[in-house]
Chains A and B, each alone.
Chain A
């Protein structure tokens, strides 16, 4: 997610040494070693790069028919994280679990009717966009922040935001800081060379504070444990992950408090390649359907009980027959290229937004994140589904 200094140096070196061939490797100059490795050590991606000879120079992805390709392949290649608990992680049995993973399953359920028809492609932060551009993955769902330069420069198209994250501040509970405004003259730790540093500097403004930056999260954690810094700032979801794993010898998670305030915008959502509008819209509407289902009160457990509902909106959503005034019976067709009733498949497979949230990152999980901005708009949150009609 953030640039590391090594990458910077390598990039600088690559710039000097890379022979200037205008063709072929345009998109991979910055990430060369990473992407090659990813391709080599990832045997699960058999359907990916290999059968994609249409990948053209200059990183311009094929404006191909991703939907047809995924359906003929019978599996969705989903680029994910495998190291962030709650979002994208491998459980002890080696299965991928997490918030982002559930969205991969939702897409597979909508497109293929089978939530398990997913090939997970674990990617690190530097590999992810190259993997997307090269066609190695069909969709990137890997806690990726939607920014203008990624939408533009990286050739990605972002879908509806799945998780509204933001930078937060974690303090020791015993210090009793209730707000960042109480933290004048404190010392704050963050990682070197990240947007986090800028955000926290902006947040403090004229209030004096010391910014201690570390290259490595482990050293940072030790410094924080020893009391060298009063606050630890990072994305809130990451802080929650750290807090949930905080050693019991230091008082466990209760010894730490994550302040309510959020002082940067990190909208995380799925991304697809530029140039395949239909596919991008499908991803968009899968996310929207999951949000819409919560609004309708449709859950994985009760989706079958709606067969007799009178609500025409719900009947449209679930692909049920609708009788108009003349007695004609139709099934709503969205024109997205999916089977009618795909919404029901998605909800039956992974549940609605509230279920996905509660299962992976909600208050009852180790991360213990409140819904906050990720509530429905009717509850004062930011989740708003365009009408399904």
Chain B
């Protein structure tokens, strides 16, 4: 009897329910049911068998997707061949034919080298932009919740203005209003010899490496390790004795001390390099083109307005009891923010912020509007000069995908570290 019941349960749940409890099964009912089951065999027909259907559906779905991809691929290659567009990626080795601003790419350089310059230029926007927009976003987000009327309103106006304008418009405004009106290169503004500002580029004092710089970098790496050990030691002291740890001061002090020692031992491994403008030729310092700063300012401000909203929402999402508890402990407003509210808000804010980071990366492709040689501009430049568009679009997609995946990976690791272990 148990054997029948086991067979019945998956196939005829209603029947088994109808049969009720174990000991109320009448022999008559059993005989009716068992006879039908015997006729149908223990398993339903294959077109109703969930185990088969599962496999069949998955195979079919895969086949359909594969077919669609195949048709698209067939169309692409066939149409390309018919129109006479070259297949393959051999063109990457051919000369690019145009010079690229702010790089050593000239007419004879290979196409792939120009693309690498474009990717570097995109990266230059990303690596500076993401930290900047995070800082501005958090500050504005906190400011929107400020009890100071002026601060809160200013932050609101900032967010609501930028959030509701297409990024291309923000970029063009930054270019026309922020960059072009700067003095010309013939009459630049020089700030104490340390920076040169004109509407072509902005150059600031930087460093140049001397011989021995790599040795110095190894020393600094060692110093980092030592200061990390010192950090742990001070933490241990604090945990054990309750004495103030001052671990930030300690670590920085160790690092700085070792750095100074290394600097003196090697003998000037690097030195200051001031920007010098001779006619139109700039030497020394770090410099960025006008288009770069237009892009950076516009995209950072634009994306920060979105991040600010995320931060504000996340702070509001921290349970009110947390704030009340902090108040009960007589923490100051800043201490409450620093130790109670923000750490918890951050956990909520991080996942949606990744989206904004990715949007920022994708929006850098608008650099073509203001003549900033990021990867999209380089790609379209090459397409305009006879390179095959389908392959170039594929390369562009791949570049942005890599940017996005790396950023997601980094932030996701961070996210995992931040989540409460107990949850």
Binding site for B on A (CB under 8 A): 2-5, 8-9, 11-12, 14-20, 22, 26, 29-30, 153, 185-187, 189, 192-195, 197-198, 201-202, 204, 209-216, 219, 222-223, 225-228, 230
Contacts and interface: CB of A to CB of B under 8 A. Distances in A.
A247 to B, nearest CB: 15
B76 A15 contact: yes
B184 A219 contact: no
Given A5-B380, A30-B83, A214-B371, A193 B281 contact: no
B101 A198 contact: no
B206 interface: no
A192 B368 CA distance: 8
Contact of B79 (A9, A15, A192, A214): A15
A3 B99 contact: no
Interface string B374-393: 00010011011100011011
Interface string B357-372: 0000000000011110
B163 interface: no
B248 interface: no
B297 interface: no
A197 B378 CA distance: 12
Contact of A223 (B180, B385, B389): B180
Contacts of B281: 185
A209 B100 CA distance: 10
A201 B97 contact: yes
B101 A210 contact: yes
Contact of B380 (A18, A29, A192): A192
Contacts of B84: 153
A338 B379 CA distance: 51
B176 to A, nearest CB: 6
Interface residues of B, number: 50
Contact of A228 (B74, B80, B85, B199): B199
Contacts of A19: 75
B104 to A, nearest CB: 10
A187 to B, nearest CB: 6
Contact of A16 (B176, B385, B390): B390
Nearest to B181: A226
Given A8-B389, A222-B176, 13 more contacts: A9-B389, A15-B76, A15-B83, A17-B75, A185-B279, A192-B377, A210-B200, A211-B101, A212-B101, A212-B291, A213-B101, A225-B180, A226-B184
Contacts of A219: 172, 175, 369-371
Contacts of B106: 201
B381 A227 contact: no
Q: Interface majority SS on B: helix, strand, loop or mixed?
A: helix
B59 to A, nearest CB: 26
Interface string B14-50: 0000000000000000000000000000000000000
B290 interface: yes
A228 B99 contact: no
Contact of A204 (B99, B180, B389): B99
A11 B389 contact: yes
Nearest to A226: B180
A15 B180 contact: no
Given A187-B200, A201-B107, A204-B99, A195 B390 contact: no
A18 B279 contact: no
B82 interface: yes
A90 B184 CA distance: 38
B389 A17 contact: no
- The residue in B181, B281, B371, B377 that gathers the most chain A C-beta atoms within 10 A of its C-beta is B371
20 contacts: A2-B384, A3-B383, A12-B392, A12-B393, A16-B72, A29-B82, A185-B280, A189-B371, A192-B368, A194-B385, A198-B107, A201-B97, A204-B99, A212-B101, A212-B291, A213-B373, A223-B371, A226-B180, A227-B185, A228-B180
Contacts of A226: 180-181, 184, 199
B251 to A, nearest CB: 44
B335 interface: no
Contacts of A8: 380, 383-384, 389, 392-393
A256 to B, nearest CB: 16
B98 interface: yes
Nearest to A225: B180
A230 B107 CA distance: 20
Contacts of A26: 82
A195 B76 contact: no
B78 interface: yes
B207 to A, nearest CB: 24
A15 B184 CA distance: 45
B376 to A, nearest CB: 8
A213 B371 contact: yes
Most buried by A among B74, B78, B98: B98
A15 B393 CA distance: 12
B102 interface: yes
B83 A213 contact: no
A214 B199 CA distance: 16
Given A215-B369, A222-B180, A17 B72 contact: yes
Contact of A193 (B83, B200, B381): B381
B83 A29 contact: yes
A194 B385 CA distance: 6
B79 A18 contact: yes
Contacts of B279: 185
A15 B97 CA distance: 25
A122 B377 CA distance: 30
A195 B180 CA distance: 26
A181 to B, nearest CB: 15
B184 A227 contact: yes
Given A226-B180, A227-B199, A193 B79 contact: no
A198 B99 CA distance: 8
Most interface-central of A192, A197, A204, A228 (chain B CB within 10 A): A228
B208 to A, nearest CB: 20
Contacts of B85: 15
Nearest to A213: B371
B88 to A, nearest CB: 15
Contacts of A2: 384
Contact of A195 (B186, B380, B385, B392): B385
Contact of A15 (B181, B373, B383, B390): B390
The 6 closest A-B pairs by CB, nearest first: A193-B384, A226-B180, A227-B184, A5-B380, A8-B389, A8-B383
A22 B82 CA distance: 9
A324 to B, nearest CB: 54
A251 B199 CA distance: 21
